Amino acid sequence: METAQMTSLLERLLKSHEDLLALGERKTEVLKQGDMKALDALLKEEDLQVKKLQSIEKERLIKFANVTLGDMLEQAEDPEKERLLHLQEQLVQAYEILKSRNELNQELLVQSLQYVNMSLSMVQPHTEPATYSNLKSNPYNTNAASLFDSKA
């Protein structure tokens, strides 16, 4: 009975990770296009998916608090054991793919921010500093007209 519950739980975790991966792939395309409205919508979908994943994980912790997958594999019969091992492999693979996709998306975001910062710095005019700065080395050597006329 426990192995059937664990199998069901792992299948739901795998499905949730696959859904997150699909969102990550869509996010990559949106980042390449620079569509901020679509990115905002995807982030909201991703947040909902992460909450779903957290609830599945919380359920796993409640049902199998002191039981590991290794313990389940020791108790399981051959067909169930093979199914659990297959699910474990799929979950590890999905996690690794999701991790690399998130790293790619993070790099795309950093590049986008660098481009925006560069564009802003090119558009903004260069202004003089608002604070005092001593640009002349000799304050008495000025070319300005004197207050006193020495010829008079």
Of 112, 103, 98, the C-alpha closest to 36 is: 112
What number of other Cβ atoms are within 10 A of residue 42's Cβ?
A: 18
CA dihedral (143, 144, 146, 151) positive or negative: positive
CA dihedral (138, 143, 147, 152) positive or negative: positive
- 71 vs 146, residue with greater confidence: 71
Q: Where are the domains of the chain?
A: 2-123
For residue 107, what are its two tokens?
A: 């790099």
Q: What is the pTM of this model?
A: 0.72
Determine contact, residues 25/102, Cβ cutoff 8 Å: no
Alpha helices in the chain (DSSP H): 2-33, 36-63, 69-75, 78-123
Over 80: is that where the pLDDT of 144 sits?
no
Over 70: is that where the pLDDT of 146 sits?
no
Per-residue b or e along 126-136, where b marks 16 or more CB atoms closer than 10 Å to that residue's CB = eeeeeeeeeee
Over 80: is that where the pLDDT of 138 sits?
no
- CA 86 to CA 95: how far, in whole Å? 14
Q: Tens digit of pLDDT for each residue in 88-117?
A: 999 999 999 999 999 999 999 999 888 888
Q: Tens digit of pLDDT for each residue in 6-44?
A: 899 999 999 999 999 999 999 999 989 988 899 999 999
Phi then psi for 99, rounded to 5 degrees? Answer: -65, -45
Arithmetic mean of pLDDT over the chain: 85
Over 70: is that where the pLDDT of 139 sits?
no
Instruction: Give the CATH fold of the 2-123 domain.
Output: Methane Monooxygenase Hydroxylase; Chain G, domain 1 (1.20.58)
Angle at 57 between CA 71 and CA 79, to 5 degrees: 40
Determine contact, residues 62/9, Cβ cutoff 8 Å: no
Angle at 134 between CA 129 and CA 139, to 5 degrees: 145
Q: Tens digit of pLDDT for each residue in 50-69?
A: 999 999 999 988 988 888 88
Residue 14: per-residue pLDDT: 94
